[in-house]
Amino acid sequence: MPIKNKTKQTKTKVIMSQSHTEIVRNEIIPCVKESDWESPKAGEEHYSTNQLIAAYEAGIAKGISGMQKLVQEKFNANIDKTASDTGRLISKLQEYGVNPTSARLKVISWDQFEVLFILPEKEYLDEKFDFVYNFVGDLENSTREEFYSISFKFLPETEDTDIQKIMSDGFTLQHKSLVK
């Protein structure tokens, strides 16, 4: 009896040393045929425990991989959208004679973004700047989607403005149209 037990352990060890993908490819796929669409009868076991676990793990790995790819694709699309929305706001500001010196992007998550506009202090304090808040609110609301939101913030540029501190707060990327 001890020999059988030892053999069984060795066999299990060999199966466990295979990856879940290898087990699915080598032990499950060759056994599956189109006619296998029939449910097993009570008490019938078609696959070993290791095969079931391997199939489950392979499915999880494939699902996670697919989800990561979808999130990456959506993140890239969202980055493009932030550039477009920021460009729209820059154009509107310039229409009203407000000339931002910088627009910096902070990525909060793959679907949430903040843009910090740095403006000359005189333009920031000017009454003509008040129109911006209504426009910004409308822009933020009209572009909001299930997996995308952007918010805009404004900062007057003074002699104490420290770009390094702004960057350390996460506003690292600059909108190309304002890079000098």
**91 in any annotated domain:** yes
Q: What is the pTM of this model?
A: 0.67
Does a structural domain hold residue 24?
Answer: no
The pLDDT score that the predictor gives to residue 113 is 96
Residue at 49 is within a domain: no
Sheet holding 112-120, edge to edge: 149-157, 112-120, 102-109, 173-174
- Can you give the pLDDT at residue 7? 40
Q: Which domain holds residue 142?
A: 79-178
Cβ atoms 115, 45 nearer than 8 A: no
Residue 58 in any domain: the answer is no
Q: Which residues of the chain have pLDDT under 70?
A: 1-17, 20, 24, 28-48
Confidence at residue 12, expressed as pLDDT on a 0 to 100 scale: 41
In a domain, 62, yes or no: no
Please name which of 108, 115, 58, 56 lies closest in space to residue 83, comparing C-alpha atoms: 115
Domain of 119, CATH number, reads: 3.30.300
Question: Per the structure, how many domains does the chain have?
Answer: 1
Tokens of 153: 């913030």
Confidence (pLDDT) at 1: 39
